Amino acid sequence: MDKTATYPVVQHPVTEADDVWKTYRNGSLEVDALRGVSFAIQAGEYVAIMGPSGSGKSTLMHILGCLDVPSSGTFRLAGEDVSTMSEEGLAHARNRRIGFVFQQFNLLASMSAWRNVELPLLYAGVERAERQRRALHALERVGLGSRVDHRPGELSGGQQQRVAMARALVTNPDLILADEPTGNLDSVSAADILELLDELHRSGRTIVLITHEIDVAEAADRIMRIRDGQILDQELAGSTALGR
């Protein structure tokens, strides 16, 4: 059974936070990593969340990706309050609704590109022939149609990140969450990945980009700046880097 077909089309914001706090406790010590964060990201938006180390952007990324839940406040994914989800429901949402792209490519070295890309579909119970068809299509989509049988060690850093992006796309998620996706790449490969994200956005994808670099953030249409666990401001990006 294809469990990826069980969700309806999203009609509300892809993600929505209302007065979200995240507090970490270590004995008697409490640290507020997020302090009253509120925002909404609509379908088809391209948003960058930018802040220095320790600003709370990684904590916010974990909540956006349903890898963690708020200590208080409300976070909704496609209109559903994540605090009402079971662990199984959160795992299913991560696998189906969100496509992750990380700084570390997180590819399995022993598996070919298409085998890496098919993994979310394998977890979703999609049949083998359909998994392969979708994986090959996703790799073609990111320009790696001629590298489907190559293992990660046979690919450049930029190509490995493209495989990771194909894996993020293969379930047709509501949201692509890219955490420092250019951090391990040279400038040419980084520009190539940002151009691909821009192309995916133009095709209608909703993208959230986590970064500490203004040049990368300006690839998005809107920048949310975070510091000390609070969103300082939101602005439209100029995005001269990609010629917009």
- Express each pLDDT in 207-216 by its tens digit: 999 999 999 9
Instruction: Give percent of the chain above pLDDT 70.
Output: 92
Q: Name the residue with tokens 């189906």.
A: 96
By mean pLDDT, which of 2-11, 40-49, 71-80, 210-219 is the weakest? 2-11
pLDDT in tens, 198-242: 999 999 999 999 999 999 999 999 999 999 999 987 777 654 433
Q: What are the distances in angstroms from CA 85 to CA 90, 92, 202?
A: 6, 10, 32
pLDDT score recorded for residue 242: 37
pLDDT score recorded for residue 3: 44
pLDDT of 156 > 50? The answer is: yes
Mean pLDDT over all residues of the chain?
A: 90
Helix, strand, or coil here: 92? helix
pLDDT of 244 > 90? The answer is: no
Helix axes of 157-169 and 187-202: crossing angle, nearest 10 degrees = 20
pLDDT of 143 > 90? The answer is: yes
pLDDT of 137 > 90? The answer is: yes
Q: Enumerate the β-bridge partners of residue 22.
A: 34
pLDDT score recorded for residue 168: 95
pLDDT of 1 > 70? The answer is: no
Look at the alpha carbons of 71, 106, 214, 97 in this order and tell me if their dihedral is positive or negative: negative
pLDDT of 7 > 70? The answer is: no
Chain centroid to CA 8: how far? 20
Parse the chain into domains and list their residue ranges: 13-97+206-236
Instruction: Give percent of the chain above pLDDT 90.
Output: 79
pLDDT score recorded for residue 240: 40
pLDDT score recorded for residue 12: 80
- CATH architecture classification, 13-97+206-236: 3-Layer(aba) Sandwich (3.40)
- Cα(39)–Cα(62) distance, integer angstroms: 15
Q: What is the pTM of this model?
A: 0.86
pLDDT in tens, 82-121: 999 999 999 988 988 999 999 899 999 999 999 999 999 9
pLDDT of 17 > 80? The answer is: yes
pLDDT bracket for residue 28 (50, 70, 90): confident
pLDDT score recorded for residue 96: 87
pLDDT score recorded for residue 238: 56
Instruction: For residue 20, give every residue at least 6 positions away whose Cβ sits within 8 Å of its Cβ, in sequence order, or none.
Output: 34, 36, 37, 38, 63, 70, 72, 73, 74, 75
- Cα(17)–Cα(40) distance, integer angstroms: 6
